[in-house]
Structure 1
Amino acid sequence: MVYLTVCLPTRNRQAYCIKTIEAVAAADGDDFEVIVADNSDDPAPLADFFATTLKDSRFRLIPPVPAVLSMVDNWERALEEAQGRWISVIGDDDFIDTRVTGLIRRLEVLHRDVDAINWDCMIYQWPDNRPTSTLASIPMSSGISVHPKQTLADRLFRWSEGKRRPSVGIGIYHGAVRKSLMQRIRASYGDRYFEHPVVDWDNTCKVVAQATRMVHCDRPFSVLGACLASNSAASHSREVMKQRLEAFERESKGGIDLVQPEFPFSLIDPGASVCLTIATLTAWFCRTYAIDLTGFGPNFASAAMDECKYCYTREEYDAKVSCFERGFALWEGGQWASLFKPAPFVAPKTVNELSGLSDDMLHIRETGIAPATPAEFYRFGENAIMPVEHLLAGTKVFAL
């Protein structure tokens, strides 16, 4: 019986995807499957790899179709093939430890109505994506807690924290959602698993709205990798980010438009940010499905100011401030524009120069470290965190 389906959508990053497949295939166990949904322009690299190298019945390849699919549609067809009781999605330059099935089984015993689980992630930049000093991150805690649903809804839909990102990690991307919940989501939202081009946060909104019980584990079970071809890598260059956003919008034609007249902040503006991308998605979701947005206006003004604090250069700061100012001037008659008062720019003294522990997160300079892939970094990081077998046994303390 397939207990967990890991969906791996991919487009034109075949070399990274093959590394990810090889790393996951090294795992023991037969209670999981991996579905690789290839949306690449050239089908040959993955097709040849599956035909000649990968001899593993736990893996299935969905080949490209003649016309390029949007990211939404590629994720959609991967989910349609899932046979597992639980489903997870990772990127093609990421890694997941399939022993997470043990965590899910344990949480099903502790919380019989749990239908969404998330865990903390390690963060790692591939060696080709280190144009400046970079830090990898390893979460050090291992606790388990239940997400209060109303608290998550306030953070996500109304941005109650006033921070650049809502601290809501629940969802199918680097998390696990019970298949029955995904089927309920599909029945509730237009007979689709996914709708909006910002597909991971689209799912987060729907899980928060529909889940019965959501549980979080502090111990990491996956790695968010960032290769040179990733969208996160594009954030290092405004021109590259603009090109990728234009390509993303072009390939998403026919679906939901990234430009929302009711939320007139430009995502192709030089000062656009991940903060703005998430806000555009949540604003669309709440308008579309009549979710109370009370407090969103002033809270988002606070979040925009928080985003402006995270600038390395005066040029980046000026671009972000101008982008937000233009949007606030147009949004809802400019009624929130006066609340956007970002602090003056202060150049950081150092940028990713210091390794160390901060708020239960170990940050490590990636210059000179041995791991060359997210999977290797995960094994490296496991030396510093709670062993899986101890976590599943409920051990509170362990010794190396």
Structure 2
Amino acid sequence: MIQLSICLPTRNRQKYCIETIRALAQSEVTNFEVIVGDNSDDASVLSGFFSDDFQDPRFRLIGPEDRVLPMVDNWERLVGETKGRWLCVIGDDDYIDPKLVLLLKYYERIYPKAESISWARMNFSWPDNRPDPGLSVIPVAHDTYLAVKSIVQDQLYRWSQGNKRPSVGFGIYHGAVRKSLMERIKRKYGGRYFEHPVVDYESSCKIIREAKMLVHCQRPFSVLGACAASNSAGTKSRKTMAERVKAFKAEAEGKVDMDDPVFPFPISDPGASICASIASTTSWFCRTYGIDLTGFPENFARAAMDELSGTVIEEDFMLKKAYFERGFDAWEGGKWRDCFQPAPFWGNRSTNEMCGVLKNYLYVREDVTPSQTPAEFYRFAEATIMPIEHVTSGARTFSR
């Protein structure tokens, strides 16, 4: 029986995808599968790799269709091909530990109603995405928590924390979801698993609404990679980001429009940020499916101010500030404009790059470790975190 299906969508980043495939194939775990959804312009690279250089029955390749698919449709077709009890999606420049199957089996025994599992994640920049060495983050705790659904929903739907990113964590992207839950979602939400172009957060909206139980493990099981061609890398350059947003919108034509007239913070604006794109997604979902948004406008204003407080370059600060001001002026006739009162920019500065441990996180300079890929970084980090076998043993004390 296949315990875990890992979906690996990719588009024109074949060299990173191949590295990720090779890393996953090194695992001795047998009861998982990897489904690679190639949406690239050149199908020959991955098809040639699978036919000539790579033979592993745990992996399947689904090639490009006769047109470029929106990302949401590429995800859709992959989930439809899965055979596992649990499903997960990662990026082609990421990594996930197939030993996650041990955690899933463990939670199935002690939390039989669990339908969505989240865990801590590591962050890693590929060597081609390090203009200046930053910090990689390794979570070092390992406890398990049962989430209160009402609190998690409040954090995502209404942004109750007021942070630039809602800290939810539950979803199919770098999270595990029961296949049975995804099928229920498909039946309830218009015959599709996914609808919105910002597919990861839209999926989280549905999953935290429908899951019977949400379980979180503090131990990390995956790495969020960022290569030079990634969207996160694109945010470091306004020109690059504008080009990628334009391509994203063109590929998603016919789907939900991210330039939403009801929530007037368009992603095509030069001052747009990830904060606004997430808010646009959650706002669309709640309006579409009748979820109470009381408190969302005030909390989003706090989130926008939090976004600005972390902006370290004055030109970027002023661009984002003007963007948010235009949005709040237009939103419901300026009803929420007074809620947006950001502090002045307080100087060009760099982020803290000191290594060390702070609040269950180990911070390591990217130029200190020899890691060249997310998988190598994960193996480096395993020396600092609890072995998975101990986490799933149920024991509370350990000795060497």
Q: Which TM-score tier does this pair reach, normalised by the shorter chain?
A: over 0.9
Return the alpha-carbon distance in structure 1 between the equivalents of residues 284 and 327 of structure 2: 15
Return the alpha-carbon distance in structure 2 between the equivalents of residues 395 and 125 of structure 1: 34
For the aligned residue pairs, the C-alpha RMSD in angstroms reads 1.0
Deviations 1:99-119 (A, max 9, x none): 001001111111111000011
Match of 1:236 in 2: 236
Return the alpha-carbon distance in structure 1 between the equivalents of residues 181 and 349 of structure 2: 47
Please give the secondary structure, in 2, of the residue aligned with 1:98. Answer: coil
Q: Give the share of equivalent positions with the same residue, in percent.
A: 52
Deviations 1:1-53 (A, max 9, x none): 11110000000000000000000000012210000000000011100110011
Return the alpha-carbon distance in structure 1 between the equivalents of residues 398 and 140 of structure 2: 13
| Counterpart amino acid of residue 202 in structure 1 | E
Alignment of 1:240-389 (within 5 A): 240-347=240-347, 349-389=349-389
CA contact (8 A) 1:10 1:17 kept: yes
Deviation at 1:399, TM superposition (A): 5.1
| Counterpart amino acid of residue 292 in structure 1 | D
| Counterpart amino acid of residue 323 in structure 1 | Y
| Structure 1: tracts of 5 or more residues without a match | none
Return the alpha-carbon distance in structure 2 between the equivalents of residues 134 and 13 of structure 1: 23
Deviation at 1:394, TM superposition (A): 2.1
Match of 2:30 in 1: 30
CA contact (8 A) 1:20 1:375 kept: yes
Moved more, 351-360 or 81-90: 351-360
Return the alpha-carbon distance in structure 2 between the equivalents of residues 247 and 358 of structure 1: 39
Please give the secondary structure, in 1, of the residue aligned with 2:363. Answer: strand
Match of 1:15 in 2: 15
Match of 2:2 in 1: 2
Deviations 1:281-301 (A, max 9, x none): 000000000000011111111
Return the alpha-carbon distance in structure 1 between the equivalents of residues 231 and 203 of structure 2: 19
Match of 1:87 in 2: 87
Match of 1:57 in 2: 57
Return the alpha-carbon distance in structure 2 between the equivalents of residues 248 and 357 of structure 1: 38
Alignment of 1:124-203 (within 5 A): 124-203=124-203
Moved more, 318-327 or 359-368: 359-368
CA contact (8 A) 1:275 1:307 kept: yes
Deviation at 1:398, TM superposition (A): 3.9
CA contact (8 A) 2:37 2:64 kept: yes
Return the alpha-carbon distance in structure 2 between the equivalents of residues 353 and 221 of structure 1: 24
Deviation at 1:354, TM superposition (A): 1.4
CA contact (8 A) 1:266 1:323 kept: no
| Counterpart amino acid of residue 250 in structure 1 | A
Between the two proteins, the alignment pairs up a number of residues equal to 400
Return the alpha-carbon distance in structure 1 between the equivalents of residues 399 and 127 of structure 2: 32
CA contact (8 A) 2:313 2:349 kept: no
Match of 1:76 in 2: 76
| Counterpart amino acid of residue 222 in structure 1 | S
Please give the secondary structure, in 1, of the residue aligned with 2:265. Answer: coil
Deviation at 1:255, TM superposition (A): 1.1
TM-score for both structures, normalised by structure 1: 0.98
Return the alpha-carbon distance in structure 1 between the equivalents of residues 347 and 396 of structure 2: 42
Match of 2:106 in 1: 106
Deviations 1:128-171 (A, max 9, x none): 00112311110111010011000011111111111111110000
Return the alpha-carbon distance in structure 2 between the equivalents of residues 271 and 130 of structure 1: 23
CA contact (8 A) 1:386 1:398 kept: no
Return the alpha-carbon distance in structure 2 between the equivalents of residues 120 and 348 of structure 1: 31
| Counterpart amino acid of residue 200 in structure 1 | D
Please give the secondary structure, in 1, of the residue aligned with 2:180. Answer: helix
Return the alpha-carbon distance in structure 2 between the equivalents of residues 398 and 245 of structure 1: 49
Please give the secondary structure, in 2, of the residue aligned with 1:119. Answer: strand
Return the alpha-carbon distance in structure 2 between the equivalents of residues 348 and 384 of structure 1: 34
TM-score for both structures, normalised by structure 2: 0.98
CA contact (8 A) 1:226 1:233 kept: yes
Moved more, 354-363 or 18-27: 354-363
| Counterpart amino acid of residue 284 in structure 1 | W
| Counterpart amino acid of residue 83 in structure 2 | Q
Deviation at 1:348, TM superposition (A): 5.7
Deviations 1:331-367 (A, max 9, x none): 0110110110001112365424211222211111102
Please give the secondary structure, in 2, of the residue aligned with 1:128. Answer: helix
| Counterpart amino acid of residue 252 in structure 2 | S
| Structure 2: tracts of 5 or more residues without a match | none
| Counterpart amino acid of residue 241 in structure 1 | M
Moved more, 329-338 or 264-273: 264-273
| Counterpart amino acid of residue 21 in structure 2 | I
Deviation at 1:312, TM superposition (A): 1.2
Moved more, 176-185 or 341-350: 341-350
| Counterpart amino acid of residue 383 in structure 2 | N
Return the alpha-carbon distance in structure 2 between the equivalents of residues 348 and 306 of structure 1: 16
CA contact (8 A) 1:198 1:281 kept: yes
CA contact (8 A) 1:87 1:177 kept: yes
Deviation at 1:397, TM superposition (A): 4.0
CA contact (8 A) 1:136 1:366 kept: yes
CA contact (8 A) 1:352 1:365 kept: no
